[in-house]
Structure formats: structure tokens, C-alpha cells
């Protein structure tokens, strides 16, 4: 039986409904003779309905509930886990209006989320806030392709509406997970006016902090759960910025507003351009993607510092780098051992260069709707992009959107990864954030894969390799507590790890691509569970 809200909580809901133009305002009470009081008492409910019905198309019973989804289009039967996508203001005579979490009242910035309770012990298990990279890649991408308990049936798809199936090796097996569409403009999050989309990296950290405060206020049962913030790729910037904003607030002495943050985890993270880009050529050389002569040409033309390669102002450097680009242009940038589907796409779209094809696949451009299904996409079956395209069909379906509680007219076509033209990066490096957080006692897990080679396709794309990550970690000069060693999953070596002072753990995931849980889900689940355990060792 659902408990009714307290008067204070109900008043807040009524206030919210009035702000949304949904709640009517009662006129002032008039004085009546005593003989009319008795009749008025019995007629009051009817009068309320008539008055409210005259001022608005529906009226609130001042009760809020969570939008718990038990059935969703594409999944056969009842979902075997608890899925929530917001709070619902319940109306009589009208449909539900579901609340996103508003993080900027002036511009009406509303962030959408999916919340899945732990399938083990939700009252005790950690709470993870997951932020997909990009910036601008949706939370649904993290849910369907990385760490969530749902997957699209790509192998069985021929045409029509895609089907979903339950996925065993999800992080929700051992943790409660909030999948957040952030920054605004990502996934289903939106703002009331254009100014709301203007946000810096620092401002994004504050908005996510605000989101957590408001979300926990509505989910008091999770306030005491240990909180971790996780994500991959560009979120390597977002997460330390957000964590430091929370840590600074926690240190302010206001125990009421404290968030039980314990640490954070970042996969293949963007951290510092100098280290990330500087590791690209040594990585290609070490993986045998370029010849010894190519490597020496870059060394001679560009110098030992490979960071400032994008400018190509030096003719010798530019020539050496162009030769490398041409030699590796058909290599899959997110997993060098898997097929690169950009070549097939380039053959299907006249006039598209290899770099434009890569951008279309990585950033999921939507200018070519004919490629939304595998039947028309024409890509090899093994291309992961087939699944990405099916997510468009699923997320744009009206019935799915109604179940999720998406605000009508808030966004047009959903995109797995948006180009956020109004998002700006105001920080070149978050290494100082890592130092402050780890030395303050917050735990950190940095995990990488050795088979990725990302090239920049936009202002916010990074060239990320394990070479660059190891370099910036070494720059911290933290003492090594437990040196380089293998860690295992399913009785096999799943990667290698090293533990540093100040609760910093570095790990590799053998054989995975850029989004490690997408490629090695069981291994990453084992990694997470062990790292979050009391022992904290892989």
C-alpha cells in the first residue's frame, strides 16, 4: 500500500503544479449564514470540482508517485527489475505529467534519468550515478549497450520494431544505478529557453550536484547508501569536476546537505589533452599499426613532444602525420581488432570521406534516416553500429516515450550522441581534481583498454590511449602500494592492475574497446564488484 504524502510534501507538489499551469487557484472563501453551512459542507467537494474544472482542464489530488515502469514495448512480459524514470504528478481526468529534475529554475533546465534498483540488496548496495561520455551521449546508450540489464536483440532483427531481452551481466546486479542525461540537450533532457543550453564543464558539475541533491531528497531511502560517480570517455572530465563540487559542499559543515560520496570510477577517461594526445603515436607504434620509419619520421619532424600535432604548422611534422592518418584510416578507432564499419558506410553514401563516415558512426548523425535499420544500413552483421541504429527506432516510438514519461514537444528525434554546440570546456585538465579528491580520502578507479585508437572528429573529441593515461598517473608521483599484477575473471586473466597510495587503482580490461563494459561485460562486472567490496582489491 502506497503511503500518502505528508501535508508539507503535498503542498510542494501543489506549488509545482501551479508553476506548470496545471493547478487551479481557489477563490477566497465567502462568509455564509449559519443555515447554509450544513449544505455547504456536503456541496463542497462538488464545488471544488466545478471551480477547478472551470480554471483548468484537470485538477490535482495533491499526490505524487514515482513513475515505475513494469512493462515496456519490445520486452516480452514484466520487467524483472525496478525501473523508474521520474516522479509523476497524478491528475484526475487527465494523463500523468511526469517530472524531470529541474536544475536551473531561471531557464527551466530539466534533466531526465533512468533509475534501476539493485537486484541484490537495494537498501545496502552502493548507488552509482552513471554519466555517459561525448559530451552529449545519452544515458540510454549506457543502459542498453554498457552496464544496464536490457539489450537490443540485434542478431535476431530483420525489420520492424526491435526487441529487448534481459541481460545478466549488468552492474545493477550489485548496485543501484542512476543513468543521467547530462549535459542538457543530451538524450531527453531539455531547457525551456535557448540560454539554458549554455553551460561550461564547471557549470555542468554544479548542475549534476544539484540533480543529486534533489533526487536524494525524493529518494530518502538511498541517502545513506555509499555513492559513486561513474562513466567513460569525456565523462573523465565531468566526473572529477562533479565529485570535487560535492566534496567541497560536504566540507562546508552543513550536515543536512551532505552527500555520502565515497569515490568515483572513470573508464578510458579524458583527463588532460597533453597526455591523451601525446600518447597516440607511441601507442600506434607499440601496437604495430605504423612502421618504424613512420615513427622515426614523426619523432624527427614533430620532436619528442607529440602533443601539438593537431596544428601541423611544421611541414615535416604535418607530412609525417598525414602518412600515419592514411595508413590507419580504415582501422576501427574504438577497437582496433574489430571491423571498421565506416568503410561500408562510405560505399553506401556517395561523397562521404572516411573521416565523415567515422563521424557519422561515432557521433550518430541523423541526417541520413535511411540508415536507421540494418536492412537499409547495409553494414556487416558484426558491426556494433547496427545496434546503435536500432536504438533510434526504439527511443523515437510514441508508445515507448509515453511509458518513459517524455514531455511532449520537448525534443524532436532522439539521438544516441548529440553535438552540443552550446557546451564549452573551460578546463584543459582535471588532474588537479584527481589529486585533491584522492588526497581527501575519496576512492578512485581508473580503468583502460589497450585496443582503442580514438581520433578527434569534433572540438570535444579526444585521442585516448592507455599510454596517455599511464603517463598522467605517473605524473602524480604517488607511491605504489601494490605493483603491476594480473587480475582474473572466469579463471582467466582479465587485465592488469596497480594500486597507488591515496586509494587510487589503475586497471586494464584485456580485449575490450573504448566503452569497456560493452565489450567485456562479465569482466567489468567482476571488476566493479571487487573494487567496491570492503577489500577493494581486484
Name residues whose C-beta falls within 8 Å of residue 460's C-beta, 6 or more positions apart in sequence: 134, 135, 136, 234, 420, 423, 425
Residue 385 near residue 348 (C-beta atoms within 8 A): no
Please choose, from the candidates 237, 130, 270, the residue with its C-alpha nearest in 3D space to the C-alpha of residue 187.
130
Q: Is 461 a catalytic residue?
A: yes
Residues 411-465 pLDDT 10s: 999 999 887 778 999 999 999 999 999 999 999 999 987 554 444 332 222 345 6
Q: Is 233 a catalytic residue?
A: yes
CA 206 to chain centre: 16
- How many CA atoms, within 13 angstroms, populate the side-chain half-sphere of residue 402? 6
Collect the ranges in the chain with pLDDT lower than 70: 1-64, 88-98, 252-256, 277-279, 304-313, 342-382, 450-466
Q: Where are the alpha helices (DSSP H) in 174-310?
A: 201-218, 235-250, 273-278, 280-286, 292-302
Q: Where are the alpha helices (DSSP H) in 120-234?
A: 139-142, 201-218
Q: What angle do CA 368, 370, 422 make, to 5 degrees?
A: 25
Distance CA 437, CA 263 (A): 8
Cα separations in angstroms, 247 against 132, 437, 510, 531: 21, 8, 33, 21
Residues 312-328 pLDDT 10s: 567 888 888 888 888 88
Q: Point out the catalytic residue in the list 60, 175, 189, 233.
A: 233
Q: Is 305 a catalytic residue?
A: no
Q: Cell triple for residue 215?
A: 533526487
DSSP secondary structure letters along 335-357: -TTS--THHHHHHHSTT--HHHH
Please choose, from the candidates 524, 508, 445, 446, the residue with its C-alpha nearest in 3D space to the C-alpha of residue 262.
445
Q: What angle do CA 392, 447, 302 make, to 5 degrees?
A: 90
Residue 243 near residue 230 (C-beta atoms within 8 A): no
DSSP E strands in 456-517: the ranges are 480-489, 492-500, 504-508
Q: What is the pLDDT of residue 50?
A: 41
Residues 346-394 pLDDT 10s: 555 555 555 555 555 544 444 455 554 444 455 666 677 777 888 999 9
Distance CA 283, CA 304 (A): 14
Q: Point out the catalytic residue in the list 272, 461, 463, 526.
A: 461
- Taking each continuous run of H as one helix and of E as one strand, the counts in the chain are 18, 18
Q: What is the pLDDT of residue 464?
A: 58
- Domain ranges in the chain are 279-404
3-state SS, residue 247: helix
Amino acid at each position: 500500500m502506497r503511503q500518502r504524502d505528508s501535508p508539507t510534501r503535498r503542498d510542494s507538489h501543489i506549488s509545482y503544479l501551479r508553476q506548470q499551469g496545471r493547478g487551479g487557484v481557489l477563490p477566497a472563501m465567502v462568509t455564509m449564514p449559519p443555515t447554509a453551512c450544513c449544505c455547504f459542507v456536503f456541496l463542497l467537494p462538488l464545488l471544488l470540482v466545478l471551480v477547478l474544472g472551470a480554471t483548468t482542464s484537470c485538477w490535482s489530488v495533491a499526490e505524487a508517485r514515482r513513475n515505475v515502469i513494469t512493462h515496456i514495448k519490445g520486452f516480452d512480459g514484466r520487467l524483472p527489475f525496478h525501473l523508474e524514470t521520474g516522479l509523476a504528478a497524478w491528475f484526475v481526468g487527465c494523463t500523468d505529467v511526469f517530472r524531470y529534475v529541474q536544475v536551473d529554475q531561471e531557464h527551466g533546465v530539466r534533466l531526465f534519468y533512468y533509475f534501476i534498483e539493485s537486484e541484490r540488496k537495494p537498501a545496502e548496495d552502493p548507488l552509482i550515478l552513471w554519466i555517459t561520455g561525448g559530451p552529449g551521449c545519452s544515458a540510454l546508450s549506457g543502459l542498453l549497450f554498457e552496464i544496464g540489464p536490457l539489450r537490443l536483440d540485434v542478431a535476431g532483427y530483420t525489420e520492424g520494431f526491435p526487441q529487448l531481452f534481459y541481460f545478466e551481466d549488468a552492474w545493477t546486479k550489485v548496485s543501484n544505478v542512476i543513468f543521467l542525461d547530462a549535459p542538457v540537450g543530451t538524450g531527453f533532457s531539455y531547457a525551456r529557453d535557448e540560454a539554458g543550453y549554455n553551460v561550461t564543464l564547471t557549470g555542468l558539475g554544479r548542475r549534476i550536484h544539484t540533480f543529486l541533491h534533489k533526487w536524494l531528497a525524493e529518494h530518502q531511502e538511498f541517502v545513506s547508501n555509499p555513492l559513486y560517480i561513474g562513466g567513460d570517455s569525456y565523462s573523465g572530465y565531468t566526473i572529477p569536476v562533479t565529485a570535487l563540487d560535492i566534496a567541497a559542499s560536504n566540507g562546508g559543515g552543513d550536515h543536512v546537505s551532505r552527500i555520502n560520496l565515497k569515490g568515483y570510477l572513470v573508464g578510458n577517461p579524458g583527463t588532460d589533452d597533453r597526455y591523451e594526445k601525446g600518447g597516440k603515436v607511441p601507442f600506434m607504434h607499440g601496437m604495430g599499426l605504423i612502421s618504424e620509419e613512420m615513427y622515426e619520421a614523426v619523432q624527427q619532424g614533430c620532436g619528442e613532444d607529440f602533443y601539438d600535432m593537431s596544428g601541423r604548422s611544421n611541414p615535416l611534422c604535418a607530412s609525417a602525420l598525414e602518412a600515419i592518418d592514411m595508413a590507419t584510416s580504415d582501422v576501427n578507432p574504438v577497437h582496433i581488432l574489430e571491423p571498421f564499419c565506416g568503410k561500408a558506410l562510405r560505399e553506401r553514401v556517395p561523397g562521404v570521406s572516411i573521416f565523415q563516415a567515422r563521424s557519422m558512426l561515432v557521433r550518430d548523425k541523423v541526417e541520413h534516416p535511411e540508415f536507421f535499420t540494418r536492412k537499409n544500413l547495409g553494414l556487416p552483421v558484426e558491426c556494433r553500429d547496427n545496434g546503435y541504429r536500432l536504438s533510434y527506432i526504439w527511443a523515437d516510438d510514441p508508445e515507448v516515450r509515453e511509458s518513459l514519461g517524455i514531455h511532449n514537444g520537448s525534443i524532436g528525434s532522439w539521438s544516441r550522441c548529440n553535438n552540443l554546440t552550446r557546451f564549452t570546456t573551460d578546463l584543459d585538465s582535471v588532474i588537479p581534481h584527481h589529486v585533491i579528491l584522492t588526497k581527501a580520502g575519496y576512492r578512485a578507479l581508473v580503468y583502460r583498454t589497450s585496443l582503442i585508437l580514438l581520433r578527434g572528429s569534433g572540438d570535444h573529441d579526444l585521442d585516448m590511449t592507455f599510454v596517455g593515461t599511464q603517463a598522467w598517473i605517473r605524473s602524480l608521483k604517488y607511491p605504489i602500494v601494490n605493483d603491476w599484477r594480473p587480475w582474473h575473471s572466469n579463471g582467466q586473466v582479465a587485465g592488469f592492475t596497480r594500486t597507488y597510495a591515496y586509494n587510487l587503482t589503475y586497471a586494464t580490461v584485456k580485449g575490450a574497446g573504448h566503452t569497456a563494459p560493452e565489450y567485456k561485460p562479465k569482466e567489468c562486472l567482476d571488476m566493479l564488484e571487487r573494487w567496491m567490496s570492503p577489500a577493494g582489491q581486484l
